[in-house]
A and B are shown apart, each in its own frame.
Chain A
Amino acid sequence: MSLKDATLMVENVSKRFGDFAAVEDLSFEVLPGRVFGFLGPNGAGKTTTIRMIVGITAPDDGKIELFGERMSPDLQDRIGYLPEERGLYKKMKIVDQLSYFAALKGVSRSKAGERIDFWLDRMNLKEWKSKKTTDLSKGMQQKIQFISTVIHDPDLLILDEPFSGLDPINVEFMIDVLSELKARNKTIIFSTHLMETAERLCNDILLINKGRKVVAGSLREIKESYGHNLIALRCTGGDEVLGDRSIVVKVTEHADEKEVELADGVDAQILLRRLVDSGAVINKFEAVEPSLNDIFIEQIGGQK
């Protein structure tokens, strides 16, 4: 897919606050219909970047294009943004709040009414329509906030820690909802600290630290590029093969299996062939991918 079709294109963007460079020369693109994981430690510049994307602040340098156009107030209506720091009017009826957010996104009143009903129904919150925020539990409030993000049927969703404050059942529920949106070819930018969730949901990953890009690409490619030298092995025999330091650097014994670290430049197939030749009985032979968590720690931990 060419860059022209990208939902979002960020090109050499920088943002400084006084002497502090929050984002420096950052470039990436988000393709339509994909879930894009935007990861990084606290203070990495994620929120600053997102605020530039949604048009709250403008970059000092570089350019941001959405749907092939330069960012403008009109384009804000095609984005649904769920900030990490978010809230609702305390003493206002849910339906009134949602109507207001819809009106601010340029949705007509009759259409807003339909969509509010649809989403409250989808979120199982129908009977809370005329209640006030203070009557709702924190999880319910999170769902209402999510509705306010999608009420104008945006093409691009930017969700910053969307699952905070939700119990595991509701997290699964929300993942289902996100899958539905993805199936409708919506693009989702997803920012989180929960690597397991990111690993489950994201097609593409961007990891930034100190305002700069650290790792970028599809989840598949990234994992493959990090995970070629670890093998999970369960077998009987073949001990002298595993003791050969020219192909195996280290063997770690786990409860019922071994983790084998291959020497640099040694293909897993060579080890497998040698083990079979040595007459070992192999029950499990798996190239282990590092988890996103491992990659995160490896990349950020060292730099910190």
Chain B
Amino acid sequence: MRKFLAVVRHEYRKIVMKWTFLIGTLLFPIIGIGFAVVPALLFSLKGEPTRIVVVDPSGRIEPRLRSNLSAESIEAKIREAAKNSSVDITASQEEQLKKGAGQLATGFVFIDHDTGGKTDDDIRRDLNARAAANEIDGYLMIPADITQPNVRYEFRSRKAGDFIANDTLEDALNAAVRSERLAASNIDETMLKGLSRNVQLQTLSLSETGEEKDSGMLYLASLVIGMMIYITLTIYGQVIMGAVVEEKETRIAEILFSSATPFQLMFGKLVGVALAGLTQLSIWVGSIAALMAFLASQSDGAQLLAALPNITPLMLVYFFIFFLVGYFIYASIFALIGSMVTTVQEGGQFAFPPIMIMLIGFYFCFAVIRDPNSSLSFWVSIAPLFAPMTMPVRILAEMPPFWQIALSIFLNCIAIAGLVWLAGRVYRVGMLMYGKRATIPEVWKWIRQA
């Protein structure tokens, strides 16, 4: 037992005391926060307003365009969009909305320019000169007769890359021209809007208890869970393989085998790496929880949290169990591969089959999310090798009966026992075979003889 603990401690320290672990562990939350915060920060940075000249010979579009680009109408438009996506607007969001609208509206400054009955080409030349003199940033040429079907609107800008300003301008121009056309055809605009409004379809999944869940968020959360399990299993499986190959490659194995039993060494390695993995996971889960708590304290974050599927402590316990089950299944497969091959590179090629199996399990998650009660979902969520990915997703989508979870855990534990036994036999022989990679018949012989 003391030797077993020594192996566990050694493997744990070997991973955790490295810079790469520290960086990898801290980087994940930092990148996560970065993705959430940095874009919002960047977009809130106010650019210089775009100074434009509107050349409108008819004089009918420009006033409408100006009013469409005013702070009030932009705010109204955003409010409309928000309403369509069926999100209730809270007080603090109201604030933000006003602020955002104001920013977009102040994004344009209208400059007057006297065209003085010149030709379009002359006007362009004049305005180009003004742009070159940095008096204006761009100009919009509106055709004289907008009722013609194929007339061209022209926007020339020194800041053509500012896609937000361009989009805003295009939207406002479209709206202005449409209103003008409607007015010209004697159609009441507000009436038309009311008539052509979209229906609101809200998708909710019904569980057997009749409880409602938001399916969009459910899909996302299931995907995140499935992905996290898949990624951690892949990474730590490879860590195990690397550690096994290192001891074989550097010929340390023989010294180790003369000091402790192969089972102590292999199982100690599995447990040590598992603890390192759990350390990392708990830092991540902790930082996610902290972020959640932070969001909950913000009034607009609480909104988002309420939409998340309800994760109970029991679910977390199940997730933890299935993560461990999955880890021990795949880690022993990777340990087995590690003791067959001679170099890490060679191991990389042989790691393909288990990674493929994990990937298939991950893909089954989609089927499980779509129909957690189908017979396919039942079978893949109790099948050894697949269950560690599919069962947590199924639990999240809809809690299956307890006997199914118990059966799944039981079957997978049998698989673990078998795989650890198998890996142990290959390990004790394979680790002392230097020079060449073992063939499958050879490995079979080791398993029978060991």
Instruction: Enumerate chain A interface residues (CB-CB to B < 8 A).
Output: 18, 51, 54-56, 73, 76-77, 79, 81-83, 85-90, 92, 96, 100-101, 103-106, 145, 148
How far does the alpha carbon of A90 sit from the alpha carbon of B242 in the complex, in Å? 13
Pair A100/B258 contact, Cβ less than 8 Å: no
Instruction: Enumerate chain B interface residues (CB-CB to A < 8 A).
Output: 2-3, 6-7, 9-10, 13-14, 246, 249-252, 254-261, 432, 434, 445
Pair A103/B254 contact, Cβ less than 8 Å: no
Pair A90/B3 contact, Cβ less than 8 Å: no
Pair A87/B259 contact, Cβ less than 8 Å: no
How far does the alpha carbon of A100 sit from the alpha carbon of B14 in the complex, in Å? 11
- Least CB distance, B72 to chain A, in whole angstroms: 65
Pair A88/B259 contact, Cβ less than 8 Å: no
User: Quick one: given A90-B246, A90-B250, A92-B14, are A106 and B255 in contact (CB under 8 Å)?
Assistant: no
Pair A54/B434 contact, Cβ less than 8 Å: no
How far does the alpha carbon of A221 sit from the alpha carbon of B419 in the complex, in Å? 54
Q: Please give me the residue from chain A that is nearest to B10 by CB atom.
A: A100
Pair A103/B3 contact, Cβ less than 8 Å: yes
Cross-chain contact of B432 among A18, A56, A96 (Cβ < 8 A): A56
User: Quick one: given A56-B258, A76-B258, are A104 and B250 in contact (CB under 8 Å)?
Assistant: no
User: Main secondary structure on chain B at its contact with chain A?
Assistant: helix
Cross-chain contact of B3 among A54, A82, A86, A104 (Cβ < 8 A): A104
Pair B252/A89 contact, Cβ less than 8 Å: yes
Please indicate the chain B residues that have their CB under 8 angstroms from the CB of A101 in the complex.
255, 259
How far does the alpha carbon of A105 sit from the alpha carbon of B3 in the complex, in Å? 8
Pair A104/B254 contact, Cβ less than 8 Å: no
How far does the alpha carbon of A46 sit from the alpha carbon of B246 in the complex, in Å? 25
Cross-chain contact of A106 among B3, B9, B257, B434 (Cβ < 8 A): B3
Cross-chain contact of A88 among B6, B252, B432 (Cβ < 8 A): B252
User: Quick one: given A103-B6, A104-B260, are A81 and B250 in contact (CB under 8 Å)?
Assistant: no
Please indicate the chain B residues that have their CB under 8 angstroms from the CB of A90 in the complex.
246, 250
Cross-chain contact of B251 among A73, A79, A86 (Cβ < 8 A): A86
How far does the alpha carbon of A76 sit from the alpha carbon of B261 in the complex, in Å? 10
Q: Please give me the residue from chain B that is nearest to A73 by CB atom.
A: B261
Pair B252/A55 contact, Cβ less than 8 Å: no
User: Quick one: given A104-B6, A104-B7, A106-B3, are A81 and B258 in contact (CB under 8 Å)?
Assistant: yes
Please indicate the chain A residues that have their CB under 8 angstroms from the CB of B249 in the complex.
87
Please indicate the chain A residues that have their CB under 8 angstroms from the CB of B445 in the complex.
18
> What are 13 A-B interface contacts by the 8 Å CB criterion?
A51-B432, A56-B254, A83-B251, A85-B254, A87-B251, A88-B252, A89-B14, A90-B246, A96-B13, A101-B259, A103-B3, A104-B256, A145-B255
How far does the alpha carbon of A100 sit from the alpha carbon of B10 in the complex, in Å? 7
Q: Please give me the residue from chain B that is nearest to A148 by CB atom.
A: B255
Pair B2/A106 contact, Cβ less than 8 Å: yes
Please indicate the chain B residues that have their CB under 8 angstroms from the CB of A145 in the complex.
255
Q: Please give me the residue from chain B that is nearest to A92 by CB atom.
A: B14
How far does the alpha carbon of A100 sit from the alpha carbon of B260 in the complex, in Å? 12
Pair A81/B255 contact, Cβ less than 8 Å: yes
Pair B258/A79 contact, Cβ less than 8 Å: yes
User: Quick one: given A100-B10, A104-B3, A106-B3, are A86 and B254 in contact (CB under 8 Å)?
Assistant: yes
How far does the alpha carbon of A83 sit from the alpha carbon of B257 in the complex, in Å? 11
Known: A88-B250, A106-B2. 16 other contacts (CB 8 A): A51-B432, A54-B258, A56-B254, A56-B257, A76-B258, A76-B260, A83-B254, A83-B258, A85-B254, A86-B252, A86-B254, A88-B252, A89-B14, A103-B6, A104-B3, A104-B6
Please indicate the chain B residues that have their CB under 8 angstroms from the CB of A105 in the complex.
259
Cross-chain contact of A55 among B7, B250, B258 (Cβ < 8 A): B258
Please indicate the chain B residues that have their CB under 8 angstroms from the CB of A86 in the complex.
251-252, 254-255
Which of A89, A100, A104, A145 has the largest count of B CB atoms less than 10 A from its CB? A104
